[in-house]
Chains A and B, each alone.
Chain A
């Protein structure tokens, strides 16, 4: 029989879990890159999972651990689906920018992130001859000027 987690250790675990969750949430809210947003969401999930495991150990039952394993399974499935979706989205606009996808916007809503109409309404691009290009992560930090308009990237 192992010792139960003391309350001090539990606090540390919970702090780390909360930090993971908060960082993930900040990342999800602030980054416009689809893949980074996805990774941030995964991080939130891990923060929750960590809290669950710590609490389960503290209370001495297995429910939290079982729940975490289920979360991992679900997260794996979700990752497969999400990445596939991102690939399809990338195919249509040749960009990972989330703000290009705002078809559900109401006319009356103010345009918080001004983008060219041309970009948002660009037709899906045709497959291009030659080696396929793949999405790249945009650099971290303040968003740089795009050297080339993202939706024309694959037409090079």
Chain B
């Protein structure tokens, strides 16, 4: 039966797509049942992925059909069922199933209910296609597909200006990264044998050994450029926090658990290629580290619960890139395992945290500002405890999932200096520095997670009221695109079971996936079945108590500090903010990154757009219009005379023309 799941793997992308199509075509008939076909499709895809999990192997590929063919250049739709793709596949479909179930409750009453689930189906199709594809070009196609779905879903409440702007921003910033991917593909096409862009060919040892020196550095750089946009790294992370304008289940699924990990996936998939350029690996590590630190520093002061989670996602993605960048020489295998492991666990607990935030938002009447509510632990018991589990996992507390994966990343970072030294690289000490920054980030992660938890669920009970000083002056109408959407839910009540059950399942996962997959070595064993994994450098690593203990201490210290400051209402946070006022204001304003972009990049773009517009209108358009008026003038002034409406005149003209033509033929 092993072959069965590999042969039929193409139904995994197909089922969610079918579900989405059914939801879209039956939109008027299904109305608020539109979630059902999509949920069935994705759940079936998940079960199928589990089957494929067992039968994965590094060389298992199938050709589904032809796609592009131009002479000798062939791009088939070829799917690869190896360790990495089945892992991603199971994770994506599992989280998607739960998110769809959650969303069927969360989105209830929304006038565009079927559209939402149709888009979700389309997204899962694209994402599963992305991870299954065995070809850079096909990956690129699905890469764009998930980008489109992200755009559609961020802008789901398109009547709301902020949502439409955020969608546009996400799309444009992602296009910026796609350029890198496209150029990388063009470049690869020119240098690989047979112009064959499949992973089998590109990542083969023979191909890699014959790459020219420029490509050895250039292509990894371009691929990382692509990854920075999709996976929200410096300098292109700015779209992700704004993407929280979309519905919360979308944030949980696309902008936390799955789509944003596509960049990590791409880099992990092409590790064999990236490992050729240790300099680029260092760059990946440094960028990941800087992103993790910056995003964590922003997250500690944000008051919007979803925004804290968004910056936390950026920070954790930075962690994954840190791990990938640490994969020099003998650490390569460990680094890939660490990054993918963190991606895997992060998907569960971050989806959980987002859904729990959504549950809070749902029961607070779409208020998400943490200053406006508090002490909700009695009113929202399920949400509170599942959020706590997710928070502990994010903070990296034993025995939650995050502990194991973060530990693995730290382990890779700790091993990197030695490996770099063994390769005669001079910058090994940088990894040592990054190790300590990573620990600092872990501390900050724990702090802001604790802060969000204590501000929301601890202290005296407080429900949002319009009299809050923080209450925005917009009316409820603009806040949700449509004020009827959540009208039937009473403020301050725990969400319906259809929303709390997925939370509890995810919480269970956030507890167990760490030691189930990490400490038992299952995940590492499964990744052995990833194409090209055997070829990566690996060296024995001694297990030390230092890293787990340090990571644990950082996490506990962060949570402890958060409890001291926010466990009870106290003037301490305000006093601290006043003491470090410049730092606090900078962090609160997201270090003015958006503003800096506004004043540099955007200004340049606007000026060049104005120049181009001027050229277009005054030069190109005039020329075209001038050319277009010529036939009209000729017709009106010269030819209209002959249009006299007499049939016999026309017939005579025809006869004369034929006669002239015949004469010419005769005498030429």
A residues engaging B (CB < 8 A)?
Answer: 25, 28-30, 32, 37, 98-99, 101-113
Interface code B642-668, partner A: CB below 8 Å = 1, 0 otherwise? 111111110110010000000000000
* Interface residue? B542 (CB, 8 A): no
CB distance from A14 to the nearest CB of B (A): 15
Main secondary structure of the interface of A (DSSP, over half): loop
Interface code B444-479, partner A: CB below 8 Å = 1, 0 otherwise? 000000000000000000000000000000000000
Give the residues in chain B near A110, CB-CB below 8 Å. 641, 644
A-B contact pairs, 30 of them (CB 8 A): A25-B655, A28-B648, A29-B651, A29-B652, A29-B655, A30-B648, A32-B648, A37-B648, A98-B646, A98-B648, A101-B647, A102-B644, A104-B643, A104-B645, A105-B643, A105-B646, A106-B640, A108-B640, A108-B641, A108-B643, A109-B640, A109-B641, A109-B644, A109-B645, A110-B641, A110-B644, A111-B644, A112-B644, A112-B646, A113-B646
Main secondary structure of the interface of B (DSSP, over half): helix
CB distance from A121 to the nearest CB of B (A): 13
Give the residues in chain A near B643, CB-CB below 8 Å. 104-106, 108-109
Instruction: Please count the residue pairs between chain A and chain B whose beta carbons lie under 8 angstroms apart in the complex.
Output: 49
Provide the bound-state CA to CA distance between A73 and B67, in Å: 50
CB distance from A143 to the nearest CB of B (A): 13
* Interface residue? B636 (CB, 8 A): yes
CB distance from B198 to the nearest CB of A (A): 56
Contact status B649-A112, CB under 8 Å: yes
Apart from A28-B648, A105-B644: 16 A-B pairs, beta carbons within 8 A: A30-B648, A37-B648, A98-B646, A101-B647, A104-B643, A104-B645, A105-B645, A106-B640, A106-B641, A106-B644, A106-B645, A108-B636, A109-B644, A109-B645, A111-B644, A113-B646
Residue from B636, B642, B645, B651 within 8 A of A28 (CB atoms) = B651
Q: A108-B636, A108-B640, A109-B640 are in contact. Are A102 and B645 (CB under 8 A)?
A: yes
| Closest residue on chain B to residue A120 by CB atoms | B645
Give the residues in chain A near B641, CB-CB below 8 Å. 106, 108-110
Residue from A25, A32, A103 within 8 A of B645 (CB atoms) = A103
User: Which B residues between 605 and 663 are near A, CB-CB below 8 angstroms?
Assistant: 636, 640-649, 651-652, 655
Give the residues in chain A near B649, CB-CB below 8 Å. 112
Q: Which 6 residue pairs across A and B have the least CB separation, nearest first?
A: A105-B645, A102-B645, A109-B644, A106-B643, A108-B640, A106-B640
CB distance from A34 to the nearest CB of B (A): 10
Give the residues in chain A near B647, CB-CB below 8 Å. 98, 101
Specify which of A29, A99, A108, A113 lies most central, judged by the most chain B CB atoms within 10 Å of its CB.
Answer: A108
Provide the bound-state CA to CA distance between A25 and B655, in Å: 9
Provide the bound-state CA to CA distance between A98 and B642, in Å: 18
CB distance from A138 to the nearest CB of B (A): 15
Give the residues in chain B near A101, CB-CB below 8 Å. 645, 647
Provide the bound-state CA to CA distance between A101 and B651, in Å: 15
Contact status B642-A109, CB under 8 Å: yes
Give the residues in chain B near A25, CB-CB below 8 Å. 655
Provide the bound-state CA to CA distance between A105 and B644, in Å: 4
